[in-house]
Structure 1
Amino acid sequence: MIIPNKYYDLRNCLTGFGGHNISFNIFFNTYIDWQPLALKYVKICDYFNTFVTLNVEMGMTLNGVRPIPKFIFPLVLGAFTAVTYVGFVAVYTVQPQPFIDEIFHIPQAQKYCQGNFIDWDPKITTLPGLYLFSIGLLGPVSWITGRSFCDVICLRLTNLVGVAFTLSTIHKLLNYLHGERVDGWKLILASFNLGIFPVFYWFSFLYYTDVLSTLLVLIMMLLHIHKAPNFAAVMGIVAVFMRQTNIVWVGFLAGLLAVDAFGFHTLRAPIQTYVDVKKLLKRLRKLSTKPLQFSECLANIIADCCIYALVILSFCVFVILNGGIVVGDRDAHKPTLHLMQICYFCLFFLLFSPFYALEKLKPFISLCKKYPHILLGLCLVCALVVQSNTIVHPFLLADNRHYTFYVWNKFYGKWIAFRYLVIPLYIFGAYVIMSFIRHNSFAFKALYIAASIACLVPQRLLEPRYFILPFLVARLQMMSFSWKILTLEACYYVIINAITMYIFLMKTFKWEDIEEPQRIIW
């Protein structure tokens, strides 16, 4: 357990839970050795939290935000699950057979259900977390009832369970991050919006890894912010078993914890800004002249972060022994340098945050007018990336069951000029993303950018599912909770989901080598 969390909690208690830079920060930061003080008076937090809890139960909070009755969110969750189940049944009715990647996942899961853990489909690239979760959920039911529950509909149901838990986890995260300043009704609507985020929500109807992978990473983050790094690291291991790229988000949390530990053991204060980083580097230079103190400081930091480090080290050993990250079909999933993925993600972010983007349009234009040379430089860099790093995966051109096939063939592939015309949108998208995380610390911003790049850039295939976690992590940091925007966004997402559902149910076509009708998904 690391002590700085105690200090930060104490400071936040005395500064209205916000950690804002007011006189209390100055008071605490003047202490060279504040640890005994923090430990001596940390009970103030307990009394203060008790006071807040009593006020909440009486319908009041310190900042005037009235909480909602506790039964409201379970009702919303129940309604959400019921409506999702209706969509689930509709999808199963028209597509009772395994579809696209399900033709690999479902037979593999059924082998696991039969106790066959040896045979492995070489086309599957992910670790067996999805199948282990399924038999963990369905196995006890099968044992009790005496019949197998590993058919297509039951396996798909695991993602229906997963999407309900994801909505609950998102709500808990938003409550923790924003609950003291944002109305509870707004938080429920914001949670609902992210729960029906179209690219994510669609895969609750099929047997893919995306829903459970996202859920596990979000639970890991929830445990981390609740100062339970050991449990978070365990959840990180489970998340990696669901999808190997989740190791990036384990590294993201490890980086945040390491920065906190550095701040505590060197500056005796959190590292929030670029100025704090400069102070840290200056302090490290001084410590480097004192080998004993430097070694002690480094040992303390390693001890604080060792649990995440063990997970990352174990993954590195796996990669070395396995000869790569993926466990199958390596020819189709070779890591590559695909910088255009960053541009695609920025455009993707705009597409699914249009109402927030409209709020940022005016300040963005003002910034461009103020710094035209920077805008020009960014445009030139993007143009260079478009020119030299536009990579087209064979799957993108061959599989017309995905929306990206049509986007590419109607725009990017057909009109070369289009690739350059959307460069301003890439830059604007990056600006909007940064506006979502601008209130976070310098370390969070740097680590988020690094994690997003690590998730996306090695991927050769343009696949919207890869954008889900970078999108959600940024959106969870949003500070704007306008009723108007939240309502418009809810309607927007519902319409998109309704259209994609209609297309899947009603639009079919034939492939020469496959007897079943084909459909279109994300």
Structure 2
Amino acid sequence: MIFYTLFLSSVILVTTYLHVVINLFIVPEPYMDEIFHVPQALAYCDGNLTQWDPKITTLPGLYLLSAGVLNVAEKLGGPDMSCSVSNLRYINVILNWLNLVVLYKINGIRLKNESEANRILSTLSLGLTPLLFFFSFLYYTDPASTLAVLLMHYAFLKERYVLSPLLGIVAICMRQTNIVWLIWHGCNILWQSSEDVLTKLLQPAAPTAAKKNKKESRSKKAGKNQKEVQEKYNPGLSRLNFKELRSVWPVLVKKVVPKSFMYAIVFGLFVAFVFLNGGVVVGDKEAHKPSINLPQLFYFTLFAMIFGFATVTSEAGNTIEIIKKNKFTYAFWVVVGLIVVYFNTTAHPYLLADNRHYTFYVWKRLYETRPILKYILVPVYIGFGVFVTANMNLHPSLIFTFIMVVAFNLVPQKLLEFRYFLLPYLMLRLHMKPTPSHILAIELIWAVIINWFTIQKYMYSPFMWSQSSEVQRFMW
């Protein structure tokens, strides 16, 4: 805990310094999408809750949070704490500190058998993920959206099945697509509760063994034995015939419904919102119409491989062995991937019109100028899928569910935007098997290098457009 506090304090000092430099000397005025977010937040700070910019696509969760915090801060600390570009951005800096705290709490649960150093390295490598770090210095929704989803996940891990979906509402108010993570946690509860109930009802020997293992749970050996017992005796929903299912159905409903009820309620409210709103986005609906963009899953794999390269490469040998043993299945999915790339590769007009984003250069210099590259990369995409299925710390049915949830999150998005990949990446890593500390250390160093490069590029490499007098800057 002492070392974690020292590392967190270091992050607080560095990010505060960068925030001050950026806001006093580099970019004091709203930049990029801040020209929409900042005026909206200022209106809410002034108590004007009816004003709304039709170009904003997300619900007003971030603006309500900012107005509430800064109005209280102004009363306590004076005019210097009032709503301003700098203070609104500093809200995000603070939110990212909280992301580190919640990640540490989550890792305390999922990595409870690992060393303190491993938990700290995992927390820092994820909390300093380049996109999350970068957008903590701008007034965007990403830090708040990430924090709300992480809190929902932490409450789920603590078995707070009312608090978790309530935090899901907060997450949706930050960004509507976070509904997929509420669905994910609801599916988890349905699966886990069903499996537990069926184990107890259909296998009388299982409770005895589980009870015996529970007494020995303090030792690693007992934990391993308990897992073996569960795997041996757990009948599973998918292996029940109709007669067995009918016999256990009343008990199943009685046990499962109370845990999943609030998730279902929140999901129902979201469906009603989409129906009444005429879509998921609040504004600018013409530019954000849902589409079927399957290659988004492939772009996400590259994103995850780049930022998690140390973990991916450390398991490359095992992944290749799995592919060799399942070469026909692998070949089938490669063919499917090639077909998807050929028929479904599209580029959003925004992607090709804005050279301030790194995605512009990825598309222009890789996919557009070298069309063959998108086909060459397909075996790599599928290989990453093999890596995921082999290394996620979940039942195969839940791995499939996770992939579907990520697909529902990404596939409807026509625009290639790296920010869309942030939460899927974090949630993927939080469901992976424990990673060795030396691999996490490499990933942390890699994240720091990327953060240094992108922040330096943003601050000190401005450029101009011929048709505009405003300074432009590179960003994710």
- 1:439-478 counterparts in 2 under 5 A? 439-478=393-432
* Residue 286, structure 1, aligned to residue 243, structure 2: yes
The answer to whether residue 50 in structure 2 is matched with residue 96 in structure 1 is no
What is the match of residue 155 of structure 1?
A: 88
- Counterpart Cα distance in 2 of 1:265 and 1:379: 39
Which of 33, 58, 79 pairs up with 2:10?
Answer: 79
CA distance in 2 between partners of 1:417 and 1:362 (Å): 27
Q: Does 1:194 align with 2:126?
A: yes
Question: Is the deviation greater in 415-424 or in 279-288?
Answer: 279-288
Q: 1:366 to 1:303 in 2, by over 3 A?
A: closer
1:218 to 142, 145, 150: 150
Shift of 1:501: 1.2
Give the gaps of 5 or more residues in structure 2: 207-226
Please give the alpha-carbon distance, in whole angstroms, between the structure 2 residues aligned to 1:358 and 1:517.
40
Change (3 A) 1:239 1:375: same
With the length of structure 2 as denominator, give the TM-score of the two structures: 0.89
Matches within 5 A, 1:81-160: 81-92=12-23, 93-147=25-79, 149-160=82-93
Name the SS of the counterpart of 2:372 in structure 1.
Answer: helix
Provide closer, same or farther for how the CA distance between residues 281 and 164 of structure 1 changes in structure 2, counting only shifts above 3 A: same
- Tell me the number of residue pairs that the alignment of Structure 1 and Structure 2 aligns: 449
Would the alpha carbon gap of residues 368 and 255 (structure 1) be closer, same or farther in structure 2, given more than 3 Å must change? closer
CA change 1:254–1:289 in 2 (3 A) is: closer
196-205 or 280-289, larger mean C-alpha shift = 280-289
Secondary structure of the structure 1 residue equivalent to 2:431: coil
**Corresponding residue of 2:289:** 334
CA distance in 2, matches of 1:383, 1:485: 32
Contact between 1:349 and 1:433, CA under 8 Å: does it hold in 2? no
Q: Distance in 2 between matches of 1:518 and 1:406?
A: 15
Offset from partner CA, 1:22-48 (integer Å, 9 cap, x none): xxxxxxxxxxxxxxxxxxxxxxxxxxx
In the superposition, relative to structure 1, how do residues 212 and 295 fare at CA in structure 2: closer, same or farther (>3 Å)?
same
- For residue 300 of structure 1, report the CA deviation from its aligned partner: 4.3
CA contact (8 A) 1:182 1:481 kept: no
Does the CA-based 8 Å contact 1:346-1:433 persist in structure 2? Answer: no
Indicate if the aligned counterparts of 1:267 and 1:283 stay in contact, CA closer than 8 A.
no
Residue from 247, 253, 257 that aligns with 1:302: 257
User: Within 5 A, what are the aligned runs for 1:254-265?
Assistant: 254-265=186-197
Structure 1 Cα separation of the partners of residues 124 and 107 of structure 2: 11
Distance 1:357 1:218, change over 3 A: same
Residues 280-335 of structure 1 show CA distances to partners (whole Å, capped at 9, x for unaligned) of: 24546115656xx6356435432331111111011111111111111000011111
Q: Give the whole-Å Cα distance in 2 for the aligned partners of 1:114 and 1:431.
A: 52
User: Aligned partners of 1:335, 1:255: CA distance in 2, in Å?
Assistant: 24
* Post-superposition CA distance 1:491-510 (Å, at most 9, x none): 11111111111111121111
Give, in whole Å, the separation in 2 of the partners of 1:483 and 1:280. Answer: 37
Percent pairwise identity: 36
Residue 360 of structure 1: CA displacement? 1.8
For structure 1, list consecutive stretches of 5 or more residues without a partner in the other structure. Answer: 1-69
* Per-residue deviation, 1:478: 3.3
* In the alignment, structure 1 residue 252 sits paired with structure 2 residue 178: no
C-alpha deviation, 1:150, in angstroms: 1.0
Change (3 A) 1:436 1:514: farther
**TM-score (norm. length: structure 1):** 0.82
Paired with 1:515 and 1:369, the residues of 2 have a C-alpha distance of: 57
Q: CA deviation at 1:182?
A: 1.0
Once the two structures are superposed, residues 118-143 of structure 1 have per-residue CA deviations (whole angstroms, 9 ceiling, x without a partner) of 01000000000010110121110112
Secondary structure of the residue that 2:464 maps to in structure 1?
A: strand
The answer as to whether partners of 1:217 and 1:236 remain within 8 angstroms in 2 is yes
